[in-house]
Amino acid sequence: MRRIAEHIARTTTNGGEFLQALNPEALGFSDILKPDDPPSDASMVNVEKWKYEYRNWNDRTNRRQEASRAAFAIVLGQCSEAVRSKMKTYQEWMTIESSIDVIGLA
pLDDT tens-digit profile of 7-54? 888 888 888 888 878 777 778 888 899 999 999 999 999 999 999 999
Residue 95, number of CB atoms within 10 A of its CB? 11
Question: What's the pTM?
Answer: 0.77
Amino acid (1-letter code) at residue 64: R
Is a pLDDT exceeding 90 seen at residue 103?
no
In sequence order, what are the residues at sequence separation of 6 or more whose Cβ sits closer than 8 angstroms to the Cβ of residue 56? none
- Measured CA to CA in angstroms, residue 34 lies from 14, 54, 57, 65, 69 at distances of 19, 7, 6, 15, 21
